[in-house]
Amino acid sequence: MSLEKSVRNLGKVYGLAERALPKILGDPGKKVAASESPINSLSEIMRLLLTNKALSDELDEDIRELLDDVDMDMPEHINQGSQSLWWVGYYSTHPTDFDRGIAAARKRKGMTQAELAEAVGTNQRAVSRWETGAVAPGAEYLGKIAKALDCRTDDLL
């Protein structure tokens, strides 16, 4: 395993964990410290996820998959060039404005409009109207959509 891939994957782990614990891990100082010493921050991230009961089965699986490609014997502190790779990994877990919305989330999940409609108890026309912005889904549907697409409701807006 290369140092570069290890660092990038640890940035991804932090980004995924931050989505589960935004108030705790969203602190800019914590992010900088994690980018400077990613292997040392890993145990703290896992402790926070477990203590706050924020480690879902899906997140656990995602983190394990990333850690499979991490050299646990990497240096405790990394140079600035390697730190930039941590940030690349971190930002790859954050949707951009272009990656937001029901259509983007549905496509990431590999679902058709009809499949999403069936999953949330509506019809394909309603999904199409939500995706084009003709109408917004009601509150009763937002949670169902997020659950069907394995995302947060704010990723849909």
What's the CATH code, domain 97-155?
Answer: 1.10.260.40
Is the pLDDT at 100 greater than 80? The verdict is: no
pLDDT at 95 over 70: no
Q: What is the pLDDT of residue 7?
A: 93
pLDDT digits 0-9 by tens, 38-91: 999 999 999 999 999 999 888 999 999 999 999 999 999 998 888 999 999 888
Instruction: Identify whether the C-beta of residue 122 lies closer than 8 Å to the C-beta of residue 133.
Output: no
Q: What is the pLDDT of residue 98?
A: 54
Given this model, what pLDDT does residue 66 score?
93
Handedness of CA 22, 24, 27, 31 (dihedral sign): negative
In order, the DSSP letters of 17-79 are HHHHSHHHHT-HHHHHHHHHSHHHHHHHHHHHHHHTT---HHHHHHHHHHHTT--TTS-SS--
Annotated domain spans of the chain? 3-91, 97-155
pTM of the model: 0.63
Across the chain, mean pLDDT equals 89
